[in-house]
Structure 1
């Protein structure tokens, strides 16, 4: 793995996500190596929280930029000098604060029931869900950025790279509801986002009762409560019982 520390005040030969980019990782060995690194960062710098990119970095940044143009999340950049790193930093701090505030705005907050069934998964989608959770390293892009964010809670890390742009996908607020539910109900901490996937980790693997409850939740979430897909959910249950991680897709037709 090639690891490069980033300082937003210095020019680089690559383009970071934004001024919150702290590390650039190239050719990661595995998801386990990434999680170990994030654990070290959390221990060494408890005043921050860390979010990493997952799949398809370019598309992830593209759709996030468009998501930030939505009325509820957009702020004015009229006074920002984009040739001045300090000015850009000030703007991005204001934007981060605004997105966090909007995610907690009672007039905009959604419920779990409001997200359930909004994304209908096919049998192929569920198989992709199983395969990705069984071999999560396969989703990682060749370059991964680690964002260092001054946010007070893990669920608010999504304010750093808010995503969910296309109308057929979960939007930013729906993604946030899923993140909160996974944390509150199952102890999964949000740690990564890509163009299609949300990444979670917990201190230990699920107990059987937790896994069974989670499968019911996920089947409902993806609109797959029919008997036809029950065997696939049992297969996913076995995968999650053997790991501490969980990866959920927020885009339409992700099994293609």
Structure 2
């Protein structure tokens, strides 16, 4: 994997989300190598948060741009060619979106019924968490996010554009709920969200995580949930789908 780091005030380069893109990872094959890069970038840019892209980087950037046009998130910025001016504008936009998410928090209890995939989604979650490398594009962009809390890193790549997706505010509710289980949000893709934690959860803690996923996805009688519980108890990563068709993308 090749890691290209960017200076924050470097003029815009092709393949960047904005001036807060601090690295581009090319030839990505495994989540393990991405996690190493994220740890290095996190240390280099502390106390800012770090967030990476996941599946389909181009589609992720496209839908994120449209998702940010939501009236609740919209922030008009100056399209100056001056790098310093553009960087200030990118930071102001991120701060505005983070504040909007904080002020417009959705209660966890309001989320049931927002997914309709049932058994298909449950099976896709098992597949994703058994083989998390498939959640990554071969190009990953890494964002520096100047926010005060891990849950607000979502503001760097707001997403959830299509009608059947969870929108950005629903995604934020999920991120906050997973934080209660010890998971930090580390990535957003065109269809997926990724989380890590310091160590794998205990079997009891994994069962609590899966109970919340049943709350989101339904199919409470599926045998997939027991399989997912066993998988999560063995690993630090958690991958879930927020996009309407995330399960179909794995077919």
What's the TM-score bracket when you normalise by the shorter of the two chains? Answer: over 0.9
For residues 33-85 of structure 1, what are the alpha-carbon distances to aligned partners after superposition, in whole Å with 9 as ceiling and x for unaligned? 111221222234322211111110011011110111110111223xx134332
Moved over 6 A (4+): none
**Normalising by the residue count of structure 1, what TM-score does the alignment of the two structures yield?**
0.92
CA contact (8 A) 1:189 1:202 kept: yes
Of 130-139 and 117-126, the range deviating more from structure 2: 117-126
The count of aligned residue pairs is: 248
CA contact (8 A) 1:120 1:224 kept: no
| Alignment partners' CA distance in 2, 1:87 and 1:46 | 22
| Alignment partners' CA distance in 2, 1:81 and 1:215 | 44
Q: Look up the match of 1:177.
A: 173
For residues 171-193 of structure 1, what are the alpha-carbon distances to aligned partners after superposition, in whole Å with 9 as ceiling and x for unaligned? 10000000000001x10011111
| Residue pairs, 1:109-188, within 5 angstroms | 109-184=105-180, 186-188=181-183
3-state secondary structure, aligned to 1:25: strand
Q: Provide closer, same or farther for how the CA distance between residues 92 and 45 of structure 1 changes in structure 2, counting only shifts above 3 A.
A: closer
| Alignment partners' CA distance in 1, 2:141 and 2:44 | 18
1:235 aligns with 2:230: no
| Alignment partners' CA distance in 2, 1:13 and 1:104 | 31
3-state secondary structure, aligned to 1:190: strand
Q: Look up the match of 2:67.
A: 67
Q: Look up the match of 1:221.
A: 216
**Normalising by the residue count of structure 2, what TM-score does the alignment of the two structures yield?**
0.94
Of 37-46 and 175-184, the range deviating more from structure 2: 37-46
Structure 2 unaligned regions, length at least 5: none
